[in-house]
Structure 1
Amino acid sequence: MPQTDFGKAIASLTMLMGYSILAVPTGIITAELSQEMNSHRQLVKCPNCSRSGHESDALYCKHCGSELADPDKRVVASEIKKAP
């Protein structure tokens, strides 16, 4: 256990670095997973409110509740372009 102010400061910085070693990679992985999940979402456009971003198997609009078209007859908004 550090007794001096300098030792306490070094111990505090070491603890913060230890937390960041765990937190930063976790944040990066979470962001990548979220981006990958959103890229697989079909951008089905609602015929009633014109909002898009519904899941590919959605039957009803998540915003207004109106029925979405059959999967074969759906209007799909432009796809999200992934950065190269």
Structure 2
Amino acid sequence: MQYIGRTNNFDKRKSAHSRTPGKENLRLQPEFETQDYETVRGLEQYLYDVHSPILNEIRPISLRNGNIERYLEAACKFIGELG
């Protein structure tokens, strides 16, 4: 993976990337679908940690964010429920 992101509007995100230098040729692929905010945040960070995408300029969740553990726990629970 070259880039990790989250969106609630896949077509809009795809269109925005098509106009962004360096991201215009990305092939977007949804990995997970959930509307739970904490889970979404945790899943984005999880994928970022696993794949170290070269096009992400910053971490999805700052290490100073007091909610990081809660977000990652929500992601782990979600992934566990998939298996």
Give the TM-score band, short-chain normalised: under 0.3
TM-score by length of 2: 0.22
Bigger Rg over Cα: 1
TM-score by length of 1: 0.21
Select the structure with the greater relative contact order (CA < 8 A; seq sep ≥ 6): 2
